[in-house]
Each structure stands twice: as C-alpha cells, then as structure tokens.
Structure 1
Amino acid sequence: MFKLFTRKKPDAMFRARAPERDHRSDALRIASISDSIEDALQASRTEHAGLERRLNDVLARAAMTLGNDADEYLDREPANTELQNVFSFEIANGERRLRDLETNIRHFEALKAALEASFPHHKNAIATNR
C-alpha cells in the first residue's frame, strides 16, 4: 500500500499543466461566455430596432384611421372603429415588448461589465468580441 506513495519514477510523479496553457484554457472559456453575451445583446438590439420601426408604422396608420375632427369618434365607420381597436391592442403589446427588450439590453450590458470586472487579466479574450 505504501508503495503507491513512494514511487521513484519521475514520469509517475504529479505534474501540473504549464501556466500558459491554463491561461489559454481560461481565456477560451471566458471568450465563450463573452461571445454568448454579445450574441444575446446584438439579437436584442436588432429586435428592438425592428420592432420600433414597425410600431412607428402602426402608430402612423392608426392616426390615419382616427381622423382629425373633434367629433370624429361619433360618426366613425364601424370598420375603422374595429381597426382602431386592433391597432390599440397591437400597439400596447409592441410597447410592452420594447420595454422588455430595453430591460434585457441593460441586463446583458451589466453581465458584460461584470464579466470584464471579474476577469480583468483576460481583457483580450473579452475584447475580441467587440
């Protein structure tokens, strides 16, 4: 049993990896996390921009069906009233999603900042994603 602890062969001795190899492995892991955060951030920004454009378009179309007379709502055609109700529902959903995306973007940016603060010695691995 004690022979296991008293090996004489140098090749059977414990050897740790080289520090450069450890640093490289850590940098790859950190870069992977940084890539994921950056991908999520870019996807959220792209979705936000597209939704904002579509929402502005719907707002313009809704304004056209609304009319500009003070008593327009009294003699509005039923089809326009129904369309206005649909627009109102979709606009509310779009605005809710925009708020959600803005929150997500702030959170992803905070994750990115936390990653940079947590691993200051790996700034090169994180910076390759910008």
Structure 2
Amino acid sequence: MALAFKVRSAERDAQTDSERLGAISAAVDAAVAAICKERDALRARVDAARDQASFATGTDYDEYLTREAKDAARIKSYEQQMTSGEQRTQELERQLAGLSAIQEVFGRHFAGKVR
C-alpha cells in the first residue's frame, strides 16, 4: 500500500519562505549599515587629516621653501593617510552601490514575502 503524497500547508510554506528571505534581507541590511558606519567614520578621519595637513602647510605662499624636514614628513604622512582613506572610501561606495542594487532587486522580486 503506497502512502499518499502530502504537501505542507500554505501557512507553513509562507512562514518558511518569510524566514529564509528575511535572513537574506537582514544580512544585506546589516552589511549596508556596517559599510555606512565605516564610511562615515573614515570620512571623519580623512577630514581630520586634511585639516591637520592644512594647518601644518601654513598660509604663507612661500612657506614650503623654509619648511623644516619634520614638518614636511608630517605633511607627507597626512597626504598618504588621505590617499588611503579616499581609496577605501571609493571601495566602500562601490560595495554600497552593489548592495543597494541587490536590495532593489530583492524588493522587486520578493516584496510582501518578508515579514
């Protein structure tokens, strides 16, 4: 005697789908939040380095001619920090754009499926 084929209830299927898709949505949302947090903190540090470099550079038009070696080295360090920070910020923006596209597609295909 063969057993009859049974399927789960529609409610159980909906709950399973919601849990599965909710986990994906939560993971993407958490990644976006982490990227935004890192980007904002990095921007603040890059801005601070820019301010410090500006202060160290001075305001006289010919100050670079008489600048001490330690000041020149400090300015160079600030420039390197700013360059690294800008490169990382660009990478974070690229990641954010990709995840935003994923969120858009996810929302389009699974709208109403996630609780």
Does TM, normalized by the shorter one, top 0.5? yes
Counterpart for residue 86 of structure 2: 95
Shift of 1:104: 1.2
- Verify: 1:15 aligned to 2:10, yes or no: no
| 1:52 counterpart = 2:48 | no
Where in structure 1 do 4 or more consecutive aligned residues deviate above 3 Å?
none
Can you give the 5+ residue segments of structure 2 that lack an aligned partner in the other structure?
none
**AA at the equivalent of 2:99:** F
Structure 1 residue 21: Cα displacement: 0.7
Which secondary structure state, in structure 1, belongs to the residue aligned with residue 65 of structure 2? coil
**Secondary structure of residue in 2 paired with 1:15:** coil
Residue 110 of structure 1 corresponds to which residue in structure 2?
101
Structure number with bigger Rg: 1
What does 1:56-71 align with in structure 2 at a 5 Å threshold?
56-71=47-62
1:35-75 deviations in Å (ceiling 9; x for gaps): 00000000000001111111111110000110111111111
Offset, 1:23: 1.1
For the aligned residue pairs, the C-alpha RMSD in angstroms reads 1.2
Q: Which runs of 5+ in 1 are unaligned?
A: 1-6, 126-130
2 CA distance for matches of 1:79 and 1:22?
A: 68
